Amino acid sequence: MAIERWRPFVSVERWDPFRNMTDIQGEANRLFDSFLGRPTASTTGSAVRAWVPVLDMHETKDDLVLNFELPGVAEKDVSLSITGDLLTVKGERAFNRESKEESVHHVERIYGKFERSVQLRMPVQADKVKATYRDGVLEVKLPKAEEVKPKPIKIDII
């Protein structure tokens, strides 16, 4: 009978602290996307982040103002529509490679078609909407309906 030395680990691998960083980054992205309400699309069995432009919304005395960030999107690739109380922005950010001879090593930006619908919080005058596009920001000014605007009431002193 031969005596063998006990070995707790069958194979010894060198410890690499960054081995699973892509898995961790993917999980963190998925967590933040779900927390922020960003949709994800599933293609070829793996989760791929869908691109949805971010939105800032504020209100002035006369208008409801929405600012969409659309970096890298040409003005001709953006469309805007309003139906009832739903404003929809659609478009596409194309992936442009300068030279076909170069090889891409890493891409983090998301390309492709996008669509973002926003339910408006108040009635607006859809026929008087104005949209401007400058430096990758689409600003949409929606004039409030007359019944929503505050009206001063004169107080008679007796």
Tens digit of each residue's pLDDT (9 = 90 or more) over 51-88: 889 999 999 989 999 999 999 898 999 999 999 889 99
Closest residue by Cα to residue 52 from 67, 65, 34, 70: 70
Burial tier of 124 (Cβ tally within 10 Å: 0-12, 13-18, 19+): buried
Stretch among 46-55, 82-91, 107-116, 133-142 having the lowest mean pLDDT: 46-55
**Domains of the chain listed by start with CATH number:** 20-50 (no CATH), 52-95+111-149 (2.60.40.790)
Is residue 139 a contact partner of residue 66, using CB atoms and an 8 Å limit?
A: yes
pLDDT in tens, 13-48: 676 776 666 677 777 877 777 666 555 554 434 445
User: Rounded to an integer, what is the distance from CA 69 to the centroid of its chain?
Assistant: 8
Q: Where are the beta strands (DSSP E) in the chain?
A: 40-43, 46-49, 55-59, 63-69, 78-83, 86-93, 112-119, 130-134, 137-143
> For residue 43, what pLDDT is reported?
41
Residue 131: partners with Cβ closer than 8 Å, 6 or more residues away: 80, 138, 139, 140, 141
Residue 39 to residue 55: CA distance in whole angstroms: 15
The arrangement of strands across the sheet holding 78-83 comes to: 78-83, 86-93, 112-119
